[in-house]
Structure 1
């Protein structure tokens, strides 16, 4: 690996063209780059509506938004805006489009390359060969690349390793506490403030895809237990129709007394407002989704339910952890810092497939078998240490 420790770029472009969680996990990378280049100007390119996780981030002076499926006219306008404007582009996603933006924007580039299948059968070998061919041009245009490893390498470490070539000793990357920077908070609306009572627990039941869902009846049992323990429960959710409906389905299962202690905040919070709410909560409980990463970043005790996703790759980062890997691949319960990850039973856990049927609307048996009792035990343990 070449050493570029003497390189001092004046303008740097970070590129993350995916979801809001993928944007949030770039913040340790941005912070570390600021340590390297205290006088550089940092810009960030991402999809429109996905950059709220960077709200108020002191290291980013300009945010550039683009459509996830730009038409030719928008491409042209964006390319004109980016063309050779930067000394360095840091491509944090392995997509062809992200690399194309990096190629247009800067003379030098570093980037993440898509992972190769781990298996040894003929099909896996063919996929690996195809992936290597697809990555060849990306390696050619970069001064340094980092391979994805969905089972052994945490996404935070993956992003930080993009800076390896700028350190004389790359061990420095992981020798200090590593922190995810949440967005600056925004005031909650009076409608929510007037309903809130202390202590409250934020519950986020809606993932982006169905195979990360926990059964409705389990949410009913858990929320009923929380209310009986004296907590108010705030159900957060995105404005997406399926997430708002999920909250309604859960509430419909609760008895009248329990319903009075539940606030449905679905679609009523911006990402910065969600951060404000979570910071004041006694506890956060959620599935494998971006808001769970936000909760961990806000230093709120966070309990998350993981199914197919390897926590070693995308578990919420416990703030101030020192090192490259906080988590074990498989453990029914593991707590590091303020984060507790719960996994269901089964030797196949985690499989990194899209549920048992390997498609977005699949079920996941490991989550269906992760009983409320396991979650309640984790809550009691977390609360006993506060």
Structure 2
């Protein structure tokens, strides 16, 4: 069976789709997926054995330069229509993903109006699936795949199915910890002063901390955080997603905000402590074993907004992180590292 999967972005959403692929891989004989994904994440499908081809899309870039990318867009559409698929599954539920799925040849499946993130997308599907919104994104996608491919949802722990041997060998020595300090929403940023304090606590325990970054703003912040480590903090060179995945996989533990790389850590089975203020871990948090969620205890949290709108007195911004200080985070980190060692020795 040949299936076209449309899940374009973001990094966390792409990662959340992987357990459904594993379910289908085990449930349906000879199933293979082609996966339409934003070009920045196109290497991820290749880490899963159920994916035959990744089909990169560049919707964001094409919108910025519509006229000069005409030939590229036509080639993309021709590739989607090069064969008939047994199923076309839009696992994103957005108008843009539905329009991409509509260009392919084959019966289209997606979430119904009550379940999709953008209800109008449901009108483009031939088959619609209702999935409760209160479930985690991983569980919702597993349910969609089970309905579209006609098997029962497995009563098993989510298996991301990533083949670590497909990851590149990193050029940087592994670290004990990775600090994932970068994220898109201002409301999800843990205060820089807290990161510096956390770095000092890790350095006092003699731990090597790696600091990735994605743009110049994050690079400058990583440099400032590293200074607090007194020789124990190391700012990574600009790294591709595959190399970052390999470093995450080799770390003892990851500490991060609600960002795509934190979900990648969960997919790779790396113990993680993830910090939540504006967002809800029960719906879109890291999902899997050894994943610790620390949520800010604050009256307006989670607000689910990009900008902190709190107008009361607070010592940090976003204000909700006043209730999630470095001492609490480090205590949980040490407890998680200790538990991981005990599990390893027990095995």
Q: TM-score range by the shorter chain?
A: 0.7 to 0.9
1:207 to 183, 195, 217: 183
Aligned to 2:211: 235
Aligned to 1:218: 194
What is the RMSD computed on CA atoms of the aligned residues? 2.6
Residue 6 of structure 2 is aligned to residue 35 of structure 1: no
CA distance in 2 between counterparts of 1:280 and 1:136 reads: 41
Aligned to 1:307: 277
CA distance in 2 between counterparts of 1:137 and 1:59 reads: 28
Compute the displacement of 1:357 (Å).
3.2
Matches within 5 A, 1:185-334: 185-189=167-171, 192-193=172-173, 200-238=176-214, 240-252=215-227, 254=228, 258-267=229-238, 269-318=239-288
Number of matched pairs: 325
CA distance in 1 between counterparts of 2:51 and 2:131 reads: 26
| C-alpha distance after superposition, 1:298-345 (max 9, x if no partner) | 222110001111111111111xxxxxxxxxxxxxxxxxx301100111
Cα gap change, 1:217/1:50 in structure 2, threshold over 3 Å: closer, same or farther?
Answer: same
Compute the displacement of 1:107 (Å).
2.3
Q: Which moved more, 1:152-161 or 1:48-57?
A: 48-57
Compute the displacement of 1:135 (Å).
4.3
Gaps of at least 5 residues in structure 2 are 311-316, 342-347
Matches within 5 A, 1:19-58: 19-58=10-49
CA distance in 1 between counterparts of 2:252 and 2:307 reads: 31
Matches within 5 A, 1:96-111: 96-111=95-110
Matches within 5 A, 1:148-159: 149=133, 152-159=134-141
Aligned to 1:341: 293
Cα gap change, 1:218/1:161 in structure 2, threshold over 3 Å: closer, same or farther?
Answer: same
Compute the displacement of 1:113 (Å).
5.4
CA distance in 1 between counterparts of 2:187 and 2:94 reads: 23
Q: Which moved more, 1:81-90 or 1:292-301?
A: 81-90
Question: In 2, are the aligned partners of 1:23 and 1:51 still within 8 Å (CA)?
Answer: no
Off by >6 Å, runs of 4+ in structure 1? 114-117
| C-alpha distance after superposition, 1:275-313 (max 9, x if no partner) | 221222221111101111111222221100011111111
Aligned to 1:145: 129
Residue 328 of structure 2 is aligned to residue 374 of structure 1: yes
Aligned to 2:55: 64
Aligned to 1:112: 111
Q: What SS does the corresponding residue of 1:316 show, helix, strand or coil? A: coil
Cα gap change, 1:216/1:62 in structure 2, threshold over 3 Å: closer, same or farther?
Answer: same
Question: In 2, are the aligned partners of 1:16 and 1:98 still within 8 Å (CA)?
Answer: yes
CA distance in 2 between counterparts of 1:136 and 1:162 reads: 13
Compute the displacement of 1:204 (Å).
1.1
Q: What SS does the corresponding residue of 1:25 show, helix, strand or coil? A: helix
CA distance in 1 between counterparts of 2:261 and 2:132 reads: 23
CA distance in 2 between counterparts of 1:343 and 1:95 reads: 28
CA distance in 2 between counterparts of 1:379 and 1:222 reads: 10
